Every structure is written in structure tokens, then in C-alpha cells.
Amino acid sequence: MPEKSITLEVFRYLPEQSDEPKYQKYDVPYREDWVVLDALNYIKDHIDGSLSYRWSCRMGVCGSCGMMVNGEPRLTCAAFLRDFYPQPIRVEPLTNFPVIRDLIINLEDFLHKLKEVKAWLIPKQEKPVSEGEYLQSPKELATYKQFSMCINCMLCYAACPVYGLEPKFLGPAAIALGQRYNLDSRDGGKEERTDIIASSEGIWECTFIGECSRVCPKHVDPAAAIQRAKVQSTQEWWMSLLLPKGAK
């Protein structure tokens, strides 16, 4: 009995050879337990060693294997061939990003935005290591835990129509990660983040379409983080009018 196979139509872009991308078809063995990443690895190992893409853990943790699979932002390590068989599968780089080569995108814009929102803990008060950890209760952890699950896979940016039209928009993941630290009881950097998160290029650009949350493989719900930040920003603005700094 002949071995079953499935066709992958893969986006190819080799800047040293051509200014125009193309699609190349590859027939790979079909396995019930294979994911799209397995098929790409098979192509790389047995058919075309020039194919370029990112991957690392193959466990849905590192976030590096995000690609467009039949037009949908997916982690290729979690997209099973059986969900598409016997139809061909089109694999493309994530939309809304410059393409470096084949399926590899340029992430510099996102990394710059992470730095802008200061996506790290800024302690309210520094203390020596000898005094131990910055402790918090399980209830305090639960306040921001959902937003800490982001794996920087960029699927939300590929799904976000606002980011596609306005690249200056901070985007779902950067805002959600900024909120993660704003909601952390140990953090004291909220004021430093507010200027950028609550700017016209931040939360107010979002039109709450919600595609970012729909495609998130970790159920982070960045759309909720953005709307929550809008409410907080509005409340703080009103309070600043009612109780200006220095008022008794």
C-alpha cells in the first residue's frame, strides 16, 4: 500500500537571489501525530536544506515557530496535519512583519516596544539580597498571572488589523505585558509606563476587535488587558481633575 502524503505550499523568499517571493510545493509523508513543524523539519532534513524558519522547543512554550497556516496565525508545533489532510497546507511568515528570509520575520519593532513599556519589574523600593524575596500572596499573583503567560509568539500582532494599518501602535502583547507589571503588587513603575501605554499610540488605538485574544495559544486575552488599561486610565484622568496634585 503506498504511503500517504500531504502537500505543503511554502512561502520562499531568498533576498540574495530575487526581490520577489514565491511559493514552493513539497510532498511530505502524512503521519497522524505529525504537526506542521514536523513537516517543515522533514523538508529541511530530506528535501531542501535551504528552507529557513525558526523553532526551538516544539512544546508550545518558546513561541518561536509562529507562522501563518492556511491564512491563520498558528504555532506550527501545535497545528496537526490531520486537521488539514488531505488538502494542501499553505505555510507563510506571520503577516504585518518584514520578512528576512523565507518564514523568518524581523522582530525588532516588537523588541523596541517591549523596551518602551518597560516590561520588567521595577521594585517599589529596592532592598538588599540579604533581606530575601519580594513576597506576595496567591491572591496578588492571581491579579496578573494570566498576562504573565505571554510567550512572545507574535500571533496576536499578525491577527491585529490595527497593527497592520498603523505600525506605530504598541500592539497587544506589549500592552498586555506592560499591564502584567502594572498589576504586580511588588512593582512601582506604573507611572513610568503610563505615558507610553496611555498615549495615542497605545491603548487608544485599539478598536477592540478581539482577534488578538482569539489566536493566543496561551489564552492570555490581551484585548482584556487593553480594555482594562483604558478603564484605569480614564478613572485616573478624572481623579486628576477632581483631586489635582497638591490639593488638600
| Spans of all domains in the chain | 5-105, 108-242
Q: What pLDDT, in 10s, does the model give residues 110-145?
A: 999 999 999 999 998 888 889 988 889 999 999 999
In a structure prediction context, what are the per-residue pLDDT tens digits for the chain, which is 248 residues long?
468 999 999 999 999 998 899 999 999 999 999 999 999 999 999 999 999 999 999 999 999 999 999 999 999 999 999 999 999 999 999 999 999 999 999 999 999 999 999 999 999 888 888 998 888 999 999 999 999 999 999 999 999 999 999 999 999 999 999 999 999 999 999 999 988 999 889 999 999 899 999 999 999 999 999 998 998 888 876 776 777 665 55
Domain 108-242 sits in CATH at 1.10.1060.10
Q: Which three cell numbers stand for residue 169?
A: 501602535
Please measure the distance between the N-terminal and C-terminal CA atoms of the chain and give it in whole angstroms.
86
Please tell me if the domain spanning 5-105 has the same topology as the one spanning 108-242.
Answer: no
Considering the segment(s) 5-105 as one domain, its CATH architecture is Roll (3.10)
Q: Nearest-CA neighbor of 144 among 193, 177, 117, 184?
A: 184
**Overall pTM > 0.85:** yes
Give the alpha-carbon dihedral of 215, 151, 220, 187, to 10 degrees: -150
